[in-house]
């Protein structure tokens, strides 16, 4: 039997980047949007059989968080943070499920994991998804790869001596959805703009990206600073994660090559909020954030494809809720709400390769969208109170 759905929305952000439209009728047949048309103002529009009135709500595409760590909680409790690093898989399973549900509650229908040391998120995806009562798409690299003795142990492993990055990727790429590389350290919270050296050389990175591509996988690279980012972009990676202090020249490079950028700006705001007020850490985190927003402003002008990711699972970065915070920062950097939603929907979907499932609210596209209370002005904060979530035509919240 055909499943029909007709929703009259007070406002629609279709995800193409065009401004919000008033009073729109969205018609869905089975899993597909068949039409999006103007609903007559003042007249009672065709309603859902349930009679729900969405005239005070905004409809927008389902969202994607392009950088999460499902094996970790956003807690700032050091004891829990330490313990979660060595949690056995069976204890991680209910926590990962809980975190995926937290994403769904905020309208996030797909997440891309940045890795965990035990590859729990990948095992979870293999053993538990897809799942009818948890309709969130998960893409996971398993573990990330870092250079021996350098940053990255919490989320990955280093190649054994004498084994190249490309060989590691080739032998372990079967089950993974993408490859995650770590090519710099973390940002200093004590010294503004301190750059760490790259973890891998140009050749090794290029070999790794090529090995991933031979297996049909994209490569996401953790990189901060001018040189680590430049090497990763020149090696042909698909996305730069974080990219603090990469500089405008790298943004130009990324615009030319259409390399995605996932700026995770909220990480610095979270650090600033947790640090003792007036402390050096609070001041440097705040300056790091301001610098990142300056880069984000420039990325928008240059046409760098920006996708939103939060690094949820980091201290103070809570699964689901953090995406609204990240999008607020995009708007501080000059993005309109429709631009910000495009980054969080279509751009994220393109980066994950799931445009057939989510991206835009347009005729012919998949019926994956959300209903949030209030007008577009209430976004992105209203994402935290998403009233309904539809995935492929089925209401899942």
Interface residue with Zn ion, options 107, 114, 152, 198 (CB under 5 A): 114
Cα dihedral across residues 155, 160, 165, 167: positive or negative: negative
Q: Does 311 bind Zn ion (CB under 5 A)?
A: yes
Choice between 311 and 326, CB closer to Zn ion: 311
Q: Give the nearer residue to Zn ion in terms of CB position, either 269 or 365.
A: 269
Choices 112-120, 125-133, 290-298, 349-357; region in contact with Zn ion by CB under 5 A? 112-120
Q: What distances in angstroms separate CA 308 from CA 92, 149, 170, 243, one per listed residue?
A: 25, 30, 28, 13
Shortest spacing between CB 114 and Zn ion, in angstroms: 4
Residues in the chain: 397
Count of residues in contact with Zn ion, rule CB under 5 A? 2
Is the CB of 312 or the CB of 371 nearer to Zn ion?
312
Q: Dmax over Cα atoms in the chain, in whole Å?
A: 72
Answer whether the bond into residue 130 is a cis peptide, omega within 30°: yes
Q: Is 343 in contact with 17 (CB distance < 8 Å)? A: no
Tokens representing residue 294 in the block: 């300056």
Q: Nearest distance from residue 237's CB to Zn ion, in Å? A: 15
Q: How far is the CB of 318 from Zn ion (least distance, A)?
A: 14
Task: Please give the residues from 14 up to 33 whose contact with Zn ion meets the rule CB under 5 A.
Answer: none
Q: Which value, to the nearest 10 degrees, does the dihedral of the CA atoms of residues 121, 361, 39, 380 take?
A: 50
Closest to Zn ion by CB, 238 vs 311, is 311
Q: Which stretch binds Zn ion (CB under 5 A): 19-27, 48-56, 121-129, 309-317?
A: 309-317
Of all residues in this chain, which one has the CB nearest to Zn ion in the complex? 114
- The neighbouring-strand residues paired with 29 are 4, 32
Q: Which is nearer to Zn ion, 260 or 369 (CB)?
A: 260
Nearer to Zn ion, 114 or 393 (CB): 114
Q: Is 116 a binder of Zn ion (CB under 5 A)?
A: no
Q: State in angstroms the smallest separation of the CB of 67 from Zn ion.
A: 6
Least distance between Zn ion and beta carbon 209 (Å): 19
Contact of 366 with 30, CB cutoff 8 Å: no
Contacts of 109 (CB under 8 A, 6+ apart): 62, 63, 64, 103, 135, 136, 137, 357, 358, 368, 389, 391
Residues 268-307, one symbol each (x = binds Zn ion by CB under 5 A, - = not), give ----------------------------------------
Only segment of 28-36, 173-181, 195-203, 311-319 that touches Zn ion (CB under 5 A): 311-319
**Nearer to Zn ion among residue 30 and residue 75 (C-beta):** 75
Handedness of CA 53, 57, 60, 65 (dihedral sign): negative
Q: Which is nearer to Zn ion, 14 or 113 (CB)?
A: 113
Closest contact distance (angstroms) between CB of 139 and Zn ion is 14
Nearer to Zn ion, 114 or 243 (CB): 114
CA distances from 99 to 104, 135, 183, 274, 346 (A): 9, 13, 27, 22, 22
Token duo for residue 16: 């193409």
Say whether 41 sits in a helix, a strand or coil. coil
Looking up tokens 């609210």 gives: 361
* Closest distance to Zn ion from the beta carbon of 118 (Å): 15
Q: Does 198 bind Zn ion (CB under 5 A)?
A: no
Burial of 387 (0-12, 13-18, 19+ CB in 10 A): middle
Residues 66-85 that bind Zn ion (CB under 5 A): none
> Which parts of this chain interact with Zn ion (CB under 5 A)?
114, 311
């Amino acid at each position: 039997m055909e499943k029909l759905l007709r929703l009259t929305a007070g406002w629609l952000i279709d995800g193409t980047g065009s401004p919000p439209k008033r009073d729109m009728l969205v018609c869905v047949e089975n899993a597909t949007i068949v039409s999006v048309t103007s609903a007559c103002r003042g007249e009672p529009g065709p309603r859902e059989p349930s009679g729900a009135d969405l005239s005070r709500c905004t409809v927008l595409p389902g969202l994607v968080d392009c950088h999460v760590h499902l094996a970790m909680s956003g807690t700032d409790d050091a004891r829990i943070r330490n313990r979660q690093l060595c949690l056995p898989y069976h204890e991680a399973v209910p926590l990962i499920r809980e975190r995926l549900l937290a994403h769904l509650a905020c309208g996030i229908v797909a997440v891309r994991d940045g890795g965990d040391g035990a590859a729990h998120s990948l095992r979870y995806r293999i053993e538990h998804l897809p799942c009818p009562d948890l309709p969130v798409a998960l893409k996971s690299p398993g573990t990330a790869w870092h250079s021996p003795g350098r940053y990255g142990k919490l989320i990955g492993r280093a190649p054994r001596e004498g084994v190249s990055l490309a060989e590691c990727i080739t032998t372990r790429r079967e089950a993974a959805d993408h490859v995650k590389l770590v090519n710099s350290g973390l940002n200093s919270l004590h010294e503004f703009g301190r750059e760490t050296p790259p973890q891998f050389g140009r050749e090794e990175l290029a070999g790794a990206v090529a090995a991933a591509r031979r297996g049909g996988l994209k490569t996401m690279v953790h990189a901060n600073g001018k040189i680590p980012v430049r090497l990763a972009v020149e090696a042909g990676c698909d996305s730069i994660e974080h990219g603090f202090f990469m500089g405008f020249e790298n943004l130009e490079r990324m615009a030319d090559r259409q390399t995605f950028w996932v700026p995770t700006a909220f990480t610095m705001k979270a650090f600033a909020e947790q640090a003792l007020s007036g402390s050096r850490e609070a001041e440097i985190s705040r300056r790091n954030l301001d610098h990142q927003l300056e880069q984000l402003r420039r990325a928008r002008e240059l046409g760098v494809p920006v996708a939103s990711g939060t690094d949820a699972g980091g201290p103070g970065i809570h699964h689901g809720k953090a995406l609204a915070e990240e999008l607020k920062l995009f708007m501080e950097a000059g993005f309109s709400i429709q631009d910000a939603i495009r980054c969080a929907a279509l751009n994220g979907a393109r980066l994950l390769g799931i445009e057939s499932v989510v991206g835009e609210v347009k005729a012919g596209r998949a019926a994956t969208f959300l209903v949030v209370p209030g007008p577009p002005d209430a976004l992105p904060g209203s994402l935290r109170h998403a009233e309904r979530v539809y995935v492929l035509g089925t209401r899942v919240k």
